[in-house]
Amino acid sequence: MEYPEKQFESDDPFEFVAVRYPVSSERNHDFQMARCFIEEYALMGWPGSQIRTLFETPLYAGPHAIFQKWGSKVVDELIREIFSAEEVADGTGA
């Protein structure tokens, strides 16, 4: 199936727009989001070292923003916590 070429317009209603909103504890929300990123990739079989590289890479905007804001020490600590969790360590994801 072929799709017609369409030039993107500046007011395209399907353009993704990121919106920030205030939270009571920015630190807790950032750490929860980081844990979600780490858990997702860990459960797909990625090793911790590869997940850390994901946080270092600007291409991955969400993880990279957390890495820039909180630093490698926090990311490494979260990776260690996730990988010591039973559901990741045994590969079941349960």
pLDDT in tens, 52-89: 999 999 999 999 999 999 999 999 999 999 998 755 55
pLDDT per position as a tens digit, 44-60: 999 999 999 999 999 99
The pLDDT, as a whole number, for residue 26 is 81
The pLDDT score that the predictor gives to residue 28 is 87
For the cut 50, the answer to whether the pLDDT of residue 94 exceeds it is: no
Measured distance CA(53)–CA(13) in Å, rounded = 34
pLDDT of residue 11: 75
87: which residues sit within 8 A by CB, 6+ positions away? 43, 93, 94
